[in-house]
Amino acid sequence: MSAHSAGSVEAERKPVLHFTQIRSGRETSSGISGGRFRARRNGLVHADMYLENILFNAGQPRLVDFEGCGFSYWMCDIGVFLGRWPWTEEFPRIQDAFLAGYAQVRALPETQLKHLDLFMAAQCAQMVLWASAFIRHDPARRAEHETWREREGAKLMRYFECR
């Protein structure tokens, strides 16, 4: 066993937010919801809402693959979905259609929408981390995962350049 046993590593970890803070709204959010966490702006998210994880039954969309679901801002799911098309010719049309459909289910305040780029950039960062983990754990497909990591890393850097 290494110098850091599993128990000691766990003991050193501290949660960013404790569940009771999320429920009570005691934490702050850097302006994403006006400086306070508001229950109507967050909830259970899928966190992997790609086209491949959306199936249709009788014309109605149904999500599959709930491995990454959890509690977050609803903008997380929007950032994941729309993060595939930034800087493409189709993006404005896709974004408008998605947000119009989303608004039929749940209103998104402008205070959240103005942070869409942040959530899309966060998805790129997550993909860089996933690709890096796959490089380590799936060496036979290293070249494929390195290409994925480079592509997502370049997208992430572009968000910083746009700011």
3-state secondary structure of 163: coil
CA 25/CA 38 separation, integer angstroms: 7
3-state secondary structure of 13: coil
CA 85/CA 83 separation, integer angstroms: 6
User: Whole-structure pTM over 0.95, yes or no?
Assistant: no
Mean pLDDT, to the nearest integer, of 97-106? 91
- DSSP annotation of 107 reads -
> Is the pLDDT at 34 greater than 60, yes or no?
no
The residue to which tokens 């005691």 are assigned: 26
For 123-162, how does the pLDDT look when each residue is reduced to its tens digit (9 = 90+)? 999 999 999 999 999 999 999 999 999 999 999 999 888 7
The pLDDT score that the predictor gives to residue 111 is 86
CA atoms within 13 A on the CB side of 105: 6
Mean pLDDT, to the nearest integer, of 50-67? 92
